[in-house]
Amino acid sequence: MSQFSYQNGVLHAEGVSLSAIAEQYGTPAYVYSKAQLLDNFASYADACRGRDALVCYAMKANSNLAILDLLARQGAGFDIVSGGELLRVIAAGGDPKKVIFSGVGKSVEEMRLALQHDILCFNVESIPELHRLNDVAGSMGRRARVSLRVNPNVDPKTHPYIATGLKASKFGVAFSDALATYRAAAQLPHLDVAGIDCHIGSQLLDDAPLLEALDKLIELIDALGDEGIHLHHLDLGGGIGVDYGDEEDGAPVAVADYLGRVFARVDAWRAERHAGRPIKVIFEPGRSIVGNTGVLLTKVEFIKHGEEKNFCIVDAAMNDMARPALYQAWMDMQPVVQADGGALYDVVGPICESGDWLARDRALAVKEGDLLVMKTAGAYGMTMASNYNTRGRAAELIVDGTQVHVVRQRENPADLFALESVIK
């Protein structure tokens, strides 16, 4: 059940009306539901209970400290892609020993930081990266645990910008090079070959491509075992989608069903060919943990009737939520106060770009001053926000029952140029 629902015609986050939130905290604002976040995490944690498994939340989806803290307290690990994200995990009280470090371009400084904090594993994506990591670990008198991100060449059937496991992708080591790359890694003195991973793409509605990728990883683990290279974990990445409300797309597979199918395959494989060898299964979900946890609350500034279109100009913009502009993503827009009828509008922001739109051709009954929400905006919303047009980023709030917590203050324009100076 969604924690965002209409009560007496007014949209609420848990027990608080979004009109009251707008009045007190202003707009635009990201409003998250604590209960929804915990429910979403529980769908992974429950399916993993009693198993050798770890859920490493992909914090690029939403890295607010309060979100990280709530998840850390549930036992989550974290999938990071920068030194900055590691510092956030630590600031939020997360355990670095449950951190895996993904990404194609880790710097020497980032590797050093992660080694100092003794993270669980580096997901390595190329031979030069293996060498750099080996050198950095050697210079610190340490060993780095590594997993190779292999590219299983599986079509995730999602938007090309968020498909990552195809042959033409910049990510991962080609499947056909994987064995040779593992052999090279096993020779490096300051690396411990620990696991294997993949991430084939995001916003997957069907888990068939993920299960196909799993089969390919298992094939490699067997082949490596035959050569005496024994892996201790298998990491399937993230990727399960959320229901954005777009009828064309439909709803994604349930997390519990997906994990059930993963564990069934892993159990069958272990019973058949991998008996007696422990293997930890790791997941890196992002969107499916935070997507439907948040909405972007915005106010109508003006209604404008153009020659061909009606525009509903709101105070949120592409700098607050880039997904429509970047991926032509369909995001649901709903009024905070339910209203019937209306006309077709493009919902657009104040930024000076034609690409600054949030939704197109939506039937809305709106007037100046009304409130709207963009639903399912909790993932890749605030983390992709920018200061374009010198717009301060939105406030972030977490609702817990009838309580509202400000977990990030609205940015003040003066802060935006505080690091700048003029030439003397």
Q: Strand, coil or helix: what is 38?
A: helix
**Alpha carbons 283 and 53: distance in angstroms, whole number:** 8
Helices and strands, counts by H and E, the chain: 12, 21
Amino acid identity at 369: G
Catalytic residues: 352
Site track 333-372 with ligand LLP (rule: CB under 6 A), x = hit: ----------------------------------------
Instruction: Give the shortest CB-79-to-ligand LLP separation in angstroms.
Output: 5
Q: Does 285 bind ligand LLP (CB under 6 A)?
A: yes
Stretch that binds ligand LLP, among 135-143, 182-190, 195-203, 274-282 (CB under 6 A): 195-203
**Alpha carbons 245 and 295: distance in angstroms, whole number:** 13
**Alpha carbons 379 and 288: distance in angstroms, whole number:** 8
Size of the chain in residues = 424
Q: Does 286 bind ligand LLP (CB under 6 A)?
A: yes
Q: Does 152 bind ligand LLP (CB under 6 A)?
A: no
Take residue 164 and report the two structure tokens written for it: 């990552």
What sections of 154-273 are H helices per DSSP? 178-187, 208-226, 255-273
Take residue 98 and report the two structure tokens written for it: 């449950």
* Closest to ligand LLP by CB, 172 or 335: 172
* Closest to ligand LLP by CB, 58 or 196: 58
Instruction: Give the shortest CB-6-to-ligand LLP separation in angstroms.
Output: 27
Q: Strand, coil or helix: what is 236?
A: coil
Take residue 249 and report the two structure tokens written for it: 């797309």
**Alpha carbons 188 and 124: distance in angstroms, whole number:** 13
Q: Does 209 bind ligand LLP (CB under 6 A)?
A: no
Which of 34, 145, 199, 274 is the binder for ligand LLP (CB under 6 A)?
Answer: 199
Q: Does 61 bind ligand LLP (CB under 6 A)?
A: yes
Stretch that binds ligand LLP, among 38-46, 129-137, 177-185, 285-293 (CB under 6 A): 285-293
Stretch that binds ligand LLP, among 89-97, 139-147, 210-218, 284-292 (CB under 6 A): 284-292
Residue (of 78, 209, 83, 100) closest to 149 by Cα position? 100
Instruction: Give the shortest CB-410-to-ligand LLP separation in angstroms.
Output: 22
Q: Does 202 bind ligand LLP (CB under 6 A)?
A: yes
- Contact indicator for 188, 136 with CB cutoff of 8 Å: no
CA distances from 3 to 35, 37, 105, 293 (A): 7, 10, 38, 8
Amino acid identity at 373: V
Q: How many residues bind ligand LLP (CB under 6 A)?
A: 19
Q: Does 43 bind ligand LLP (CB under 6 A)?
A: no
Which of 238, 324, 335, 349 is the binder for ligand LLP (CB under 6 A)?
Answer: 238
* Closest to ligand LLP by CB, 28 or 238: 238
The CB-nearest residue to ligand LLP is 238
Contact residues: ligand LLP, CB under 6 A: 58, 61, 79, 102, 162, 199, 202-203, 237-239, 284-288, 323, 327, 380
